[in-house]
Structure 1
Amino acid sequence: MTAFQELSQFLRDTQALSRVSMRTGWDQETVMPRGASDDRAEEMAALESILHARRTDPRLPDWLDRAQAQTPAQARILELTARSYARTTRIPARLATELARLTSLSQGVWARARADEDAGAFLPTLSQVVALKREEAQALSDGDPYDALLEDYEPGTTQVEIAQIFDRMRPRLTALLDRVRGAAAQPKALNHNFPADQQMHIARLCATAFGYDWTRGRLDLAVHPFSSGGGNDARITTRVAENDPFNCIYSTIHEVGHACYEQSIDQAYNFTPLGEGVSMGVHESQSRIYENQLGRSAPFTAWLFGQMKKSFGDFGIAKPQDFYATVNRVAPGFIRTESDELQYNLHIMLRFDLERDLIAGRLDVADLEEAWNARFNDDFGLQVDKPSNGFLQDVHWPVGLFGYFPTYALGNVYAGCLNQQLRHAVPQIDTHLERGDASPATAWLREHVQHHGALRNPRDTIAHACGCAPDEAPLLAQLEDKFTAIYQL
């Protein structure tokens, strides 16, 4: 075999083992018995030890030296492999293994503390996680440690660039939010009981409408909705609250966006570094455009209104246009995943600032709850009433995903750009959405974004699809137009 063929086979086996690790994590958050958490931590640590050894294998530099790329895709594989090797060799095997063990244990400790509303029970574990992530950041960093962690989720982007985007977004978002809060026209809130089995039925209908391939995926319940896997096994989860069907429905559509990205990547890239989403920002662009620009649009909610009427009868909303306003209702709330489009990015900005301070050592874990609650009150005018509505609501910090949160807002920015181009390229989208058919939109996204996997860098992926560099202007314009109309501003 040539050096490139030898390297490709080695990478294939590594990618396969990585997917086994991902599905072990999926099992932990969905169906694993509670008493298995200690064993699962050891299993995850053992898998990570093997994966770390493969990603730092001394044969990799020789293969990279000798391999000759014959195509742009092969050149990109070599580029990504070299980048992975350079980063992974800076992390001691002990640290990689201990992080895997601790974050697996931490997920269970967090879930129990969240259920018991006992922040103090989780703080010692979180302190250990933060200490290890600081160590990892220092090992990876040639500059700012937080930037080193951010590189795992949005390669090529720095916290300074993200902060500048957020600084440009915040004034327009808060000004629009103030106008919406003072509007005379306020959409009606839901006040009805929505049985769980019927919610899951509608969630499945929505997943199908957005093109989810059930032969290569499945839908389960989890404390915190997520998508896991890739290639020909891309799974999703959701959660159910019987007084809030939108939680289940839109969490499902969001996770379908992630899974469809993975399902749509060129099969020739499967089990290579190209066979996965290029970044979490681009991944979020898919989940957010599915959820918001398409799923919360007037045409799609008109179809959804009909499905809701079939399943639940009269639930207090009389007309499709009133239902559209209710779906997009801007209301005070603590939970990021249940937030409206207008306030969502403000949730991300809060987490971005706090986690930067945690990694830099400017904020101690012991003071995190107080800092969160004070900042939340400043940003949203709400006093956090319990830890599950505060810093315990998200699973990201418990499992060590520092640097992940800002990619949600970047995903919104990218989605705004993609939606603008999509509407121009496929003008008949709304006619299909009214029938519960998102296929013209998802086909365009599949062709211009999803099919290419990690072939291009994140911003180049969006620029290739849109014909211009991404920026926040289209998203802000969409939000201003949408909420001005709904609230009759």
Structure 2
Amino acid sequence: MSAFRELMAHQRETEALAQVAGRLAWDQETVMPRGAAAQRAEESGAMSLVLHARRTDPRIGAWLAAAEDEVEDEVSRAQLRHIRREHERTLRVPGDLASALARQTALAQGRWAEARAADDFAGFAPVLAEIVALKREEGAALADGGDVYDALLDDYEPGATAAGLDAMFGALRPRLVALRERALGQGARARLGGRFPADKQMGLARQLARTFGYDTTRGRLDKAVHPFSSGSGDDVRITTRTEEDDPFNCLYSTIHEVGHACYEQAIDPAYALTPLGRGVSMGVHESQSRIYENQLGRSRAFTGWLLGEMRHAFGDIAVADADAFYAIVNRLHRGFIRTEADEVQYNLHILLRYDLERALIAGDLPARDLEGAWNDRFAADFGYSVTRASQGCLQDVHWAVGLFGYFPTYTLGNVYAGCLHRALRAAVPDLDAQLATGDLGPAGAWLRENVQRHGGRYLPRDLIERACGAAPDEGPLLAYLEEKFGALYPDG
């Protein structure tokens, strides 16, 4: 057997075990009994040790060296690029540190859920401090003398740097703030009223998942505290949540997670259980969830169709017509929760988290002081005060499970989505006519062809540039937001 084939056989088993580890995490957030948390932490730690040992196997270096002379095709070279990168990064992190991180973040997830329910940040702060310390140690090992935060960021968006993000985010912030202030200065707009039974929300959510192309023979929809997508290939699972006075929380969370899931389900089957068989980065992943949720799902054309489905599911929802419903779906509003934020303010939530997590990793912000720093920054950015930890620094699970460097990819994904949306509309000029009938087929087909099927074959920015014909930048997103919300909130 050639070195390349031996390497890929080894990698296939590693990828399969990583999927099993992911299934443990899915189970923990959906159906695992509360009393199993300590045992699950041990199981996660043990699986992490197994994966670490496989990824640092000394044979990998020899296989990589020999395989370089064996392969010439682009796909095989992309496989080697991913395996080499993962192997080199994993070698830098000691196995006991990888195991400790897996064990502590599994425990912290349950502690976070309890603290969030009790609005008790002080009780969670020591747990967070331990996670931050472990992530600093991991980041320093990965950085090998370079920037620690950039090393963590590279896990989620290869090639991205804080310096590059600072420039992009700096260009976004003033125009987003100006658009928000203009809209909110016009006073509160109507919102959806009434009660919407959870079972009917879930029924419509499942319908919307299928409408957007989610293959339920290779996936499932469940409830969780924090909506997420998990898995790849032939087992891609999503979750959502319900609130009886806010069906949009459930419906648009579902559409968002379907975007992630459709990406994973559409990857070329030939890449299954290889490094190319998963999304190339979290920024690209987020571009799919956000374009499904916002540019498609919140468009005037699609919401006109959705209004009819809402009436069919819930009866009279006291909305005059499709224009009024479109305005309700896209209303700008004061709020604390990132996942419930409108399109204009969402990225401001991310920029807050980005700055705070950089300070945590740099050691400039002790974990015990996070709540105060969060509340001060939120008041400065949004103009009103956080009153409960569950509305503030405990609302997201990301830091509890060690995802430092993850948050900025949400805004990067929005930027990518803006670029893709412009290209999609140029390629499918009758898109609105299709969306108005609930037909997501042509939009989904374009995204599958230009983004999703490639999996990890191309570098993130290269993939977006290939799809759009230009390097990604914030311009298309800002133009889309200013046109859409300028019309919804006209001057005067």
TM-score normalised by L of structure 2: 0.98
Query: How far apart, in 2, do the equivalents of 1:324 and 1:203 lie?
Result: 18
SS in 1 for 2:155: coil
Paired position in structure 2 for 1:177: 180
In the TM superposition, what are the counterparts of 1:195-344 in structure 2 within 5 Å?
A: 195-344=197-346
CA contact (8 A) 1:230 1:276 kept: yes
SS in 2 for 1:315: coil
Query: How far apart, in 2, do the equivalents of 1:175 and 1:381 lie?
Result: 13
Which residue identity is paired with 1:409? T
Paired position in structure 1 for 2:12: 12
**CA distances 1:285-340 after superposition (whole Å, capped 9, x unpaired):** 00000000000001111111111111222222111110000000000000000000
Paired position in structure 2 for 1:386: 388
Q: How much has 1:70 moved relative to structure 2? A: 3.2
Q: How much has 1:244 moved relative to structure 2? A: 0.5
Q: How much has 1:429 moved relative to structure 2? A: 1.4
Paired position in structure 2 for 1:167: 170
Give the alignment partner of residue 420 of structure 2, picking from 389, 398, 418.
Answer: 418
**Residues 1:43 and 2:55 are matched in the alignment:** no
Query: How far apart, in 2, do the equivalents of 1:46 and 1:170 lie?
Result: 43
Query: How far apart, in 1, do the equivalents of 2:72 and 2:430 lie?
Result: 40
Paired position in structure 1 for 2:404: 402
Which residue identity is paired with 2:54? R
Query: How far apart, in 2, do the equivalents of 1:155 and 1:18 lie?
Result: 20
Query: How far apart, in 2, do the equivalents of 1:326 and 1:333 lie?
Result: 15
Q: How much has 1:117 moved relative to structure 2? A: 1.4
Q: How much has 1:183 moved relative to structure 2? A: 2.6
**Residues 1:145 and 2:148 are matched in the alignment:** yes
Query: How far apart, in 2, do the equivalents of 1:271 and 1:287 lie?
Result: 22
Query: How far apart, in 2, do the equivalents of 1:454 and 1:420 lie?
Result: 23
Any stretches of 5+ residues in structure 1 without a counterpart? Answer: none
Query: How far apart, in 2, do the equivalents of 1:218 and 1:14 lie?
Result: 24
CA contact (8 A) 1:183 1:488 kept: no
Query: How far apart, in 1, do the equivalents of 2:186 and 2:71 lie?
Result: 60
Query: How far apart, in 2, do the equivalents of 1:320 and 1:312 lie?
Result: 16
SS in 2 for 1:383: coil
**CA distances 1:195-229 after superposition (whole Å, capped 9, x unpaired):** 10111111111111100000000000000000000
Q: How much has 1:272 moved relative to structure 2? A: 0.7
SS in 2 for 1:120: helix
Q: How much has 1:182 moved relative to structure 2? A: 1.8
Which residue identity is paired with 2:228? F
**CA distances 1:121-171 after superposition (whole Å, capped 9, x unpaired):** 211111110010010011111311000000000000100100110000111
SS in 2 for 1:151: helix
SS in 1 for 2:464: helix
Query: How far apart, in 1, do the equivalents of 2:96 and 2:8 lie?
Result: 27
Paired position in structure 2 for 1:53: 53
Give the alignment partner of residue 77 of structure 1, picking from 76, 79, 88.
Answer: 79
> Across the two proteins, how many residue pairs are aligned to each other?
488
Query: How far apart, in 2, do the equivalents of 1:334 and 1:177 lie?
Result: 15
In the TM superposition, what are the counterparts of 1:330-369 in structure 2 within 5 Å?
A: 330-369=332-371
Structure 1: which 4+ aligned runs deviate by more than 3 Å?
Answer: none
Q: How much has 1:436 moved relative to structure 2? A: 1.2
Query: How far apart, in 2, do the equivalents of 1:37 and 1:139 lie?
Result: 29
- Which moves more between the two structures, 188-197 or 473-482? 188-197
Which residue identity is paired with 1:156? G
**Residues 1:28 and 2:38 are matched in the alignment:** no
**Residues 1:479 and 2:481 are matched in the alignment:** yes
- Which moves more between the two structures, 307-316 or 288-297? 307-316
**CA distances 1:83-137 after superposition (whole Å, capped 9, x unpaired):** 1111100000000000000000000000011111111221111111001001001
Paired position in structure 1 for 2:108: 106
**CA distances 1:371-418 after superposition (whole Å, capped 9, x unpaired):** 000000111112111111000000100000000000000000000000
Q: Aligned-pair RMSD on alpha carbons?
A: 0.8
Query: How far apart, in 2, do the equivalents of 1:189 and 1:308 lie?
Result: 15
Which residue identity is paired with 2:475? A
Any stretches of 5+ residues in structure 2 without a counterpart? Answer: none
State, as a whole percentage, how many aligned pairs show the same letter: 61
TM-score normalised by L of structure 1: 0.99
Query: How far apart, in 1, do the equivalents of 2:354 and 2:119 lie?
Result: 24
